[in-house]
Amino acid sequence: MDECCSSATHAARKHRNIFIRLWKKAYRWGCRWNERRKAANTLARMSSAQLKDIGLSRDDVKRDHSRT
């Protein structure tokens, strides 16, 4: 294999690796966002007594829910 072909192959791998890393990063971000959204929805459905049992208030839930 000559020098030109090996550098072209290396460049193609590098571009593919960048795409894969970006896709994985976006996928992980989406998964984390979805988990936070589900947790916020679960907390929003809890009664004030249930929230008190776990050491939260309705204001805590509203403040955290506004971040998602």
Q: What is the pLDDT of residues 1-54, one digit of tens each?
A: 455 556 666 667 777 788 999 999 999 999 999 999 999 899 989 999 999 999
Structural domain including 12 reads 3-65
The three-state secondary structure class of 1 is coil
Quote the pLDDT of residue 8: 64
Length of the chain: 68
Residue 66 has pLDDT above 70, yes or no: no
Residue 61: the pLDDT is 84
Quote the pTM value. 0.62
Number of domains in the chain: 1
Torsion angle of C-alpha atoms 31, 55, 58, 37, degrees rounded to 10: 0
Residue 20 contacts residue 28 (beta carbons within 8 Å): no
